A and B are shown apart, each in its own frame.
Chain A
Amino acid sequence: MSAAKLIHGYEVVIGFETHAQLATHSKIFSRASTAFGAEPNTQACALDLALPGTLPVMNRAAVECAIQLGLALGSHIAPRSVFARKNYFYPDLPKGYQISQFEIPVVQGGAVSFLLDGETKTVRLVRAHLEEDAGKSLHEDFIGQSGIDLNRAGTPLLEIVTEPDMRSSDEAVAYAKKLHEIVTWIGVCDGNMQEGSFRCDANVSVRKPGGPLGTRREIKNLNSFKFMQQAIDYEVRWQIAQIEDGHAIQQATVLFNPDTGETRAMRTKEDAADYRYFPDPDLPPLVIAPEWVERVRGEMVELPWVMAQRFVRDYGLPEYDAATLTQSKAMAAYFEETAQACGQAKLASNWVMGEVSRRLNAEEGTFEKVKVHPLALAALITRVADNTISNNGAKQVFEEMWSSVQFNEDGGRLIHVNIFEGVHLSDKVDAIIEAKGLKQMNDSSELEKIIDAVLAANPKNVEEFKAGNTKALNGLVGPIMKASKGKANPAQVNDLLKKKLG
């Protein structure tokens, strides 16, 4: 571990608790739907309302999500874990207790590793446990009353708890992004932070290097990476200022207000409830046989870092490229299809990380919404590789293909609006090259004529170059490219120039 960055002589210590809503169709202990955004209380069945006589029955799909995450993070999958009741009264907690795991969680240990400023950082996990979400209290919609929406009650959650291994807000955000990437990659969580599918609580404390851990304050419900960074930075500054002013930090739960950029204490340790945890007698211990774990392992998607290693091994990509391309499953798949079709892995990587990503970023889109088919990109790369067109020309073709596609109103389907619809993708690329006249002039006799004319017209540059000023060459390339209407191959121009002048 590298030396921690100090802030005003203090070391920052951060641990995370993340609630990931599991992407199961039904709830953790009932068969009601988990879909987001339905009318209040339309997705709450008798069990979710805690009607007398209802009993929880474990949703195996939620357990499989836990197993998948455990496998992805190198954790121990507990062969026997126990559900416990966390008892407290709140109107959006229908049973008066939350079913969670307390003493024996299903996922134990493991780690999340990520690159930050060129260094690999590893955050150890304590555990990840299964539990049910509560409903929502709607305080704004009613005057003098609160509404309760129990659609969310019983939605399966995995609470993922780290050791206090992070030493800056940058590390914290990088950890959260990596965890987000993993849960969405393996598909156990949709990762939608606005809808609350991925909620982070940060436990923040500061201390003098080498000293005992400081008292922590827990920032609840950080639902964007931007707020996460702002909240932690504010909290750290606040805690240091308090200590510097001679005040001790009180253990507390705080909320971040994005409008003011400040954190504010919600409750202190003194008000902490006694949750009276005890094993839930309605649920026998969760037993996960080794065969179940192996079956889930066999069905799991290739993990990003495993895929990255394969990209390095099989495609000869630099590690940086491999790590970048495996940031999302869609991006990796896009790259692979392109690379396999054109046989030019490094060029494909450059295009995917460069032009394609640039275009997507400009539209705030993701690789699910990429507008140029990987086979079209592969055809284009093939034309660059065989010197049919220049890189610049290729970008024009790419632009033409990209802008010829639009999404229709409902955002889903692609509509191709150009005349090349239905044409084979490689023919389409060739047709655009033809139509735009981008074919490079690879005939050297014609090019030589142009070069000779330009050399004759620019004797000063020729002289300077011969005198040893290599930059003078640039003054010649420009006019040659212009005279060739951009069709000259710049590499070929350079070669011919050097030959003629050398």
Chain B
Amino acid sequence: MRDLHNLGVAELAALLHKKEVSAVEVATRFLAGLGGNPHNAFLDINSEVTLAQAQASDAKLAAGTAGPLEGVPIAHKDVFVTQDFVTTAASKILTGYRSPFDATVVRKLREAGMVTLGKLNCDEFAMGSGNENSAFGVVSNPWESSHVPGGSSGGSAAAVAARLTPAATGTDTGGSIRQPAAFCGITGIKPTYGRASRYGMVAFASSLDQAGPMARSAEDCALLLSAMCGPDLDRDSTSLDVPAEDLSRDLDRPLATAGRQGGPLVIGVPEEWSEWSEGGLRNNDVSLDVLMPLTKALHQLIQLGAKVKRVGLADGNLAIPVYYIVACAEASSNLSRFDGVKFGHRAAQYSDLLDMYQKTRSEGFGDEVKRRIMTGAYVLSHGYYDAYYLQAQKIRRMIADDFQRAFAECDVIAGPVAPTTAWKLGEKTDDPVANYLADIFTLPASLAGLPCMSVPVGQSEGGMPVGMQLIGNYLDEARVLNVAHQFQLHTTHHTQAPGAAA
């Protein structure tokens, strides 16, 4: 029997199209792997729905009307609303919530033929970087179950790494696709802000939230992202009016000619993140566990024909305060709708309206969500708005401008995803600021709205995966994926599986 679990999206799609395996067979095998909910990665499964979708896929495959990804399983982060599965955003306040519609991303992947395996655990409302903030329990890292999988798309990363699904959706507000991808040794990409519709994503920070695929290769991510993106102007006003495109088109371009005017690809390494000199990276705030594989990866890219140079990103240091002001401000407002009036959790006992609000929200939200709502309400308050929110917006523009100056000198930017590999569960639970600081490398691209991804580049001494971040200019996803794919063609880091899954 073929080991379907170790196949990627492209391989499964090919087998399904060749009818060497049926969609029902694939779905059945993957559903079988979910028994006991390994790593606590899933929040909802419904085998009836999954098998019905698989049967429909088989019918289409037989009729010759199959979509490009027909019959390939995928699981969705629980911030995408779904008609057929419960959607909670990993929050108690949405316990049992069922949406009357599918998120655009979910719909588009269904239209491409994908079969939904279920919904994936994450940090509550995507707020967190260790998946320790889920109301439904932590997710463990398949590489080392005492460690976090990263967050907020921790369930997605763990499920893909553990071969529970060939692909998952994630959302990235400040690094929530890239960082768990890095921590779990998989590949994930966040597109340019506005490429993927936000319709049907439970909003955390509207000006930052973006959907993206998480899979085991850049090739798979390109297929998935091509299917996910496209204008959705009637449902999302921030959706870009850019036609859907084939983001796999440049995958095979050699790096020696992948740069501007057919020259070699130029990779910029921001000196503020990790100083590139004499062929090595230095940064006292980044663990050697991360710096060493990263340095090696850059050398491999040079061997493949790319050039590496230092670029400046001076304002990147301000990304943490700016992000936590903007994201919390938007979250404080976005989460106001969870008030117990219309849907979701409502306190059982209350004396009046104010009491109902207070009890409902106190019971329904976890600590981190409350912390961010309060921070957000504070920075938007009368008398503080100018000092915090307005100032943050100005710096946010400076950060975006900073990137444009850098992109005048290079084609993509490379650097670490996180300063360390995955930490131990509980290690940072009592220190939210330490958690925030660990986002330093993922926040700038989020604030600028740039496409960015995480590519596995090796492991730490302790055997934990390390990711390299690649950032492209606006709408330059195809180029970022090209770099990642060329790297993966010549390396095997992305094919490594955690012990238990191998």
B328 to chain A, nearest CB (A): 12
Within 8 Å of chain B (Cβ to Cβ): is A341?
A: no
Q: Indicate the size class of the contact surface on chain B.
A: 35 or more
Chain A interface residue count, Cβ-Cβ cutoff 8 angstroms: 29
- Which partner residue on chain A sits nearest B329 by CB separation? A278
**Considering the chains assembled together, what is the distance between the CA atoms of A274 and B206 in angstroms?**
22
The verdict on B200 contacting chain A, using a C-beta distance below 8 Å, is yes
B221 to chain A, nearest CB (A): 23
Give Cα A282 to B333, complex, Å.
12
A193 at the interface (CB under 8 A from B): no
Is B341 an interface residue, CB under 8 A from the partner? Answer: yes
Please judge, given known A-B contacts A49-B342, A57-B236, whether A87 and B380 are in contact too, CB under 8 Å: yes
Highest count of chain B CB atoms <10 Å: which of A148, A274, A281, A284: A281
Q: Which residue of A lies closest to B234 (CB)?
A: A57
Interface flags, B374-394, vs A, CB<8A=1, else 0:
000100111001000100000
CB contact between A284 and one of B202, B238, B343 (< 8 Å): that residue: B238
A95-B233 Cα distance, complex, nearest whole Å: 21
The residues of A that contact B337 with a CB separation of less than 8 Å are 50, 52, 94-96
Within 8 A of B (CB), among A265-317: 274, 276-278, 280-284
> Does A91 have its Cβ within 8 Å of any Cβ on chain B?
yes
Q: Is the CB of B377 within 8 A of A51?
A: no
Q: Which residue of B lies closest to A282 (CB)?
A: B206
Count A-B contacts at CB 8 Å: 99
Closest to B104 in A: A53
Residues of chain A within 8 A (CB-CB) of B381 are: 274, 276
Contact of A112 with B by CB under 8 A: no
Q: A197 to B380, alpha carbons, bound, how many Å? A: 32
Contact A282 B336 (CB under 8 A): no
Known: A87-B336, A95-B337, A96-B337. A53 touches B237 (CB 8 A): no
Instruction: Check A50 against B342 for contact (C-beta < 8 Å).
Output: yes
Looking at the complex, which of B33-41, B95-103, B145-153, B422-430 is the stretch in contact with chain A? B95-103
- What residue of chain A has the Cβ atom nearest to residue B125's Cβ? A52
State the CA gap A277–B329 with chains docked (Å). 10
Question: Which residues of A sit under 8 angstroms from B103, Cβ to Cβ?
Answer: 53
Q: Mark A49-82, 1 if CB is under 8 A from B, else 0.
A: 1111111111000000000000000000000000
Instruction: Give the residues in chain A near B389, CB-CB below 8 Å.
Output: 278
Asked if A95 and B336 make an inter-chain contact with CB atoms under 8 angstroms apart, the answer reads: yes
Within 8 A of A (CB), among B63-122: 80-81, 87, 89, 94, 97, 99-101, 103
Known: A274-B381, A276-B380. Is A87-B357 also a contact (CB below 8 A)? no
Partner of B200, one of A50, A53, A97: A53
In Å, the complex CA distance between A89 and B341 comes to 11
A21 to B438, CA, bound (A): 49
Min CB distance, B416 to chain A, in Å?
A: 28
Question: Do B333 and A97 touch (CB < 8 A)?
Answer: yes
Q: Is the CB of B100 within 8 A of A284?
A: no
Known: A96-B336, A97-B333, A97-B336. A52 touches B87 (CB 8 A): yes
User: Does B353 lie at the interface of the complex (its beta carbon under 8 Å from any beta carbon of A)?
Assistant: yes
Q: Are B333 and A276 in contact, CB atoms less than 8 angstroms apart?
A: yes
Given A52-B94, A57-B236, A91-B341, A278:B333 Cβ within 8 A = yes
Closest to B377 in A: A276
Residue picked from A50, A148, A282, most chain B C-beta under 10 Å? A282
Which residues on the A side are within 8 Å of B382 (C-beta)? 274, 276
Which B-chain residue is minimally distant from A92 (CB atoms)?
B341
Residues B237 and A284 in contact, CB atoms below 8 Å apart: yes
CB of A241 closer than 8 Å to a CB of B? no
Q: Chain B residues near A55: list those with CB within 8 A.
A: 198-199, 203, 235-238
A97 to B206, CA, bound (A): 14
Q: How far is the CB of B77 from chain A (nearest CB, A)?
A: 13
In the complex, residue of chain A having the shortest beta-carbon distance to the beta carbon of B100: A46
The closest CB in chain B to the CB of A56 belongs to B237
**Min CB distance, B357 to chain A, in Å?**
6
A97 to B338, CA, bound (A): 12
- Is the C-beta of B201 less than 8 angstroms from some C-beta in chain A? yes
Contacts of A50 in B (CB 8 A): 337, 342
B340: min CB distance to chain A, Å:
9
Contacts of B199 in A (CB 8 A): 53-55
The answer to the question of A217 belonging to the interface, with a C-beta cut-off of 8 Å to chain B, is no
Cβ-based interface call for A85 (8 A): yes
Does B58 make an interface contact (CB < 8 A)?
A: no
Q: Determine the distance from Cα of A100 to Cα of B103 in the docked complex, in whole angstroms.
A: 26
Q: Which of A145-182 contact B (CB under 8 A)?
A: 148
Binary CB contact string for chain B from 334 to 349 against chain A (1 if under 8 A, 0 otherwise): 0111010111000000
**A-chain residues with CB within 8 Å of residue B205 when the two chains form the complex:** 281
Q: Does B330 contact A (CB under 8 A)?
A: yes
Determine the residue in chain B with the shortest Cβ distance to A88. B336
Max chain B CB contacts within 10 Å: which of A56, A87, A96, A280? A96
Chain A nearest Cβ from B231, distance in angstroms = 12
B 197-218 to A, binary, CB cutoff 8 A, 1 in contact else 0: 0111111011100000000000
Kindly identify which residue among B97, B202, B206, B339 contacts A96, using a CB–CB cutoff of 8 Å.
B339
The residue from B201, B332, B336, B353 contacting A53, defined by CB atoms under 8 A apart: B201
**Cα A109 to Cα B237 with chains together (Å):** 28
Tell me, rounded to whole Å, the shortest Cβ–Cβ distance linking A8 to chain B.
37
Q: Are A89 and B336 in contact (CB under 8 A)?
A: yes
Q: Given known contacts A52-B81, A52-B89, A282-B206, is B336 in contact with A46 (CB within 8 Å)?
A: no
Nearest chain A CB to B446 CB, angstrom units = 13
> Among the interface residues A52, A57, A87, A276, which one has the most CB atoms of the partner chain B within 10 A?
A52
Query: Closest chain A residue to B353 by CB distance?
Result: A91
Query: Within the complex, which residue of B97, B238, B341, B357 is in contact with A52, where a contact is CB–CB below 8 Å?
Result: B97
Per the bound structure, the CA–CA distance linking A97 and B201 in Å amounts to: 19
When distances are taken between beta carbons in the complex, the residues of chain B under 8 Å from A284 are: 237-238
A49, A53, A57, A87: which contacts B333 (Cβ < 8 A)? A87
Q: How far is the CB of B78 from chain A (nearest CB, A)?
A: 11
- For B393, give the chain A residue with the smallest CB separation: A279
Give Cα A57 to B382, complex, Å.
Answer: 28
Distance A56 CA – B343 CA, assembled complex (angstroms): 19
Chain A's closest residue to B201 (CB) is: A53
Q: A53-B202, A95-B336 are in contact. Are A278 and B237 (CB under 8 A)?
A: no
B91 CB to nearest A CB, Å: 10
Q: Are A281 and B207 in contact (CB under 8 A)?
A: yes
Query: Closest Cβ of chain A: how far from B96's Cβ, in Å?
Result: 13
Q: In the bound complex, how far is the Cα of B339 from the Cα of A87, in angstroms?
A: 13
Q: How far is the CA of A36 from the CA of B163 in the complex (A)?
A: 55
Measured between beta carbons, the chain B residues less than 8 angstroms from A87 are 332-333, 336, 380
CB-defined contacts of A49 to chain B, threshold 8 Å:
342-343
User: By the criterion CB–CB under 8 Å, are A53 and B99 in contact?
Assistant: yes
Residue of A nearest to B344 (CB): A52
> A53, A97, A277, A281 — which one has the most chain B CB atoms within 10 A of its CB?
A53
Residues of A within 8 A of B342 (CB): 49-51, 94
Q: What distance in Å separates the Cβ of B34 from its nearest Cβ neighbour in chain A?
A: 25
Chain A hits for B94, CB < 8 A = 52
Q: Which residues of A contact B89 (CB under 8 A)?
A: 52
Q: How far is the CB of A94 from chain B (nearest CB, A)?
A: 6
Question: Measured between C-beta atoms, what is the minimum distance from A156 to chain B in Å?
Answer: 15
Residue contact A281 to B206, C-beta cutoff 8 Å: yes
| Interface contact B341-A282, CB-CB below 8 Å | no
Closest to B198 in A: A55
Nearest CB in chain B to that of A54: its residue: B199
Give complex CA distance A97, B353 in Å.
17
Mark A residues whose CB is within 8 Å of B. 46, 49-58, 85, 87, 89, 91, 94-97, 148, 274, 276-278, 280-284
7 closest cross-chain pairs (CB), A and B: A96-B336, A281-B207, A276-B380, A281-B206, A53-B200, A50-B337, A53-B81
8 additional contacts (CB under 8 A) given A97-B333, A276-B377, A282-B238: A50-B342, A51-B100, A52-B94, A53-B80, A53-B201, A57-B236, A96-B335, A96-B339
17 A-B residue pairs with CB within 8 Å? A52-B89, A52-B97, A52-B202, A53-B81, A53-B199, A55-B198, A55-B203, A57-B234, A89-B336, A89-B339, A89-B357, A91-B353, A96-B336, A96-B337, A97-B336, A277-B385, A283-B238
